[in-house]
């Protein structure tokens, strides 16, 4: 029973994250990609 509840809450959280990224679109992802690329460049240099 606990495993089923845990799986259901995980699916709900994943659906919520997917809904947020869909609503925000690329605007919410581009800053994250920019930060990731800056961190990678900083690590290389």
Q: pLDDT tens digit string along 6-32? A: 555 655 666 565 555 555 555 455 555
Spatial separation of the C-alpha atoms in residues 16 and 40, rounded to whole Å: 29
Alpha-carbon dihedral 12, 17, 18, 24, rounded to 10 degrees = 150
Task: Write down the pTM of the prediction.
Answer: 0.23
CB 20, CB 28: distance < 8 Å? yes
Structure confidence by residue, pLDDT tens digits, 27-45: 455 555 666 666 565 555 4
User: Structurally, how many domains does the chain consist of?
Assistant: 1
Give the pLDDT confidence score for residue 40 in this predicted structure: 60
What is the Cα–Cα distance from 24 to 14, expressed in whole angstroms? Answer: 15
Asked if 29 and 21 count as a contact pair (C-beta separation under 8 A), the reply is yes
For residue 27, give both structure tokens: 């605007």
- The DSSP letter of residue 23 is H
Residue 28, domain extent: 2-44
């Amino acid at each position: 029973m606990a495993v089923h509840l845990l799986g259901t809450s995980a699916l709900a959280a994943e659906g919520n994250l997917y809904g947020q990224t869909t609503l925000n679109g690329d605007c919410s992802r581009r800053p994250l990609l920019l930060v990731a690329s800056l961190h990678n460049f900083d690590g290389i240099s």
